Structure 1
């Protein structure tokens, strides 16, 4: 990671326009067809949440805007991405766990299982400060129609939230919310990302 001059990046105008905005975050909602992930989760005994995190990381890794993030008053360029998940710990509370993204699903799964278990048992967050982290929060036991993340003014990272997937006659769907800082990307980039998440789901090997 390194500090870059915003004027020397494609985000120069957005940095000038949105860095001092009182509410620079934008939230999109999209309903995904997750039928394929549900089948893979059952057949291969893989966690559905892990598969979602993998598809999110895979989709983001091909979009250059995800490697630039406003931190404080600076623009930081990263060379790698991680996906965060919220873990229920042994004390009945929640802890945060960053999982380094890799294209290799087997390696990602192993990291996910190892790190979430470590965080759950230790109750200590696992943070990857050298990576651009995409936050996620899965409220898998609850049926929600959407959620807007809180803007703390401290963390500007992109963030996705979803609840329980919904079964229909011919497919299973999942509504996700995607919050992002307008300095990092525009609506077209966010829309392309969400479309790519669906493509990664559809292309997942059975």
Structure 2
């Protein structure tokens, strides 16, 4: 369960003073990922591309301390666990969000992903873990290729958020441009850059896990 911490006693004290009440507190980074390994693993193991990316997003974040704190209203909250949210098309033609708890074991994560998204699609309701875990939001717009997305910049939804479109082929590789949005109170550019480097590394070594 999250707990409120004193910003002045945290590593984010200066950031809190600078950015908590900023008009535009969100920062967006753009990066193109090499997802060639994803397609190999997805086809070989019959695993969903979106699931694999959600798994690697969470795994890239878990060892970065700043991902466990989040500005909520004017409070700074600290979490113990991380989850990843994905958008699900429900049976009524609408959409809902579905939070997947992170676990290091890929088979367990995949099971949670399949069970939770199937439940959301059938019940047309959200699976919300925000009261328990720091949730990293995601959105996949696979109907088209995109160079980047800038999300809401209001500070209402402060969770880190990653968006992407359809992957594309370049020579013998497959690329996926993504957008990573984060609240500047939560992390600095160096933390976001380290996360994106971690994400590419996790994608590259996924084959080694079988």
* Fold equivalence (TM over 0.5): yes
**Conserved in 1, the CA contact under 8 Å of 2:28 and 2:180?**
yes
Moved over 6 A (4+): none
Deviations 1:2-34 (A, max 9, x none): 000011111000000000001100000000000
Aligned to 2:84: 83
Question: CA-to-partner distance for each residue in 1:120-140, whole Å, 9 max, x for gaps?
Answer: 110000100210000000112
Q: Is the 8 A contact 2:25 2:154 kept in 1?
A: no
- RMSD of Structure 2 on Structure 1 (CA): 0.8
User: By how many angstroms is 1:153 displaced?
Assistant: 3.0
Q: Distance in 2 between the 1:21 and 1:199 partners?
A: 33
- 1:78-109 CA-partner distances (Å, limit 9, x unpaired): 00000000001111111010000011111100
Tell me the CA shift for residue 152 of structure 1: 4.1
Q: How high is the TM-score relative to the length of structure 1?
A: 0.98
Q: Deviations over 1:56-76 (max 9, x none)?
A: 000000100000000000000
- State the alpha-carbon separation in 1 of the partners of residues 105 and 61 from structure 2: 15
Task: Give yes or no for the alignment of 1:132 onto 2:134.
Answer: yes
Match of residue 52 from structure 2: 51
**In structure 2, do the counterparts of structure 1 residues 160 and 121 end up closer, same or farther at CA, with 3 Å as the change threshold?**
same
In 1, Cα distance between the equivalents of 2:78 and 2:48? 31
Give, in whole Å, the separation in 1 of the partners of 2:154 and 2:182: 13
How does 1:55-70 map onto structure 2 within 5 Å? 55-70=56-71
Q: CA deviation at 1:151?
A: 2.8
What residue is the counterpart of 2:100 in the other structure? 99
1:158 counterpart = 2:164: no
Rounded Cα–Cα distance in structure 1 between residues aligned with 2:146 and 2:22: 29
Distance 2:96 2:161 in 1: 16
Alignment partners' CA distance in 2, 1:152 and 1:110 = 35
SS at 2:83's partner residue? strand
Alignment-derived partner of residue 196 in structure 2: 194
- Report the alpha carbon displacement of residue 168 of structure 1 after superposing the two structures with TM: 1.6
For 1:7 and 1:106, locate their aligned partners in 2 and report how far apart those are by CA, in whole Å.
Answer: 41
How many residues end up aligned between the 2 structures?
A: 206
Q: 5+ unaligned residues in a row in structure 1: which ranges?
A: none
Measure, in 1, the Cα distance between the counterparts of 2:42 and 2:92.
28
Distance 2:72 2:3 in 1: 11
Aligned to 1:171: 173
Q: Is the 8 A contact 2:23 2:154 kept in 1?
A: no
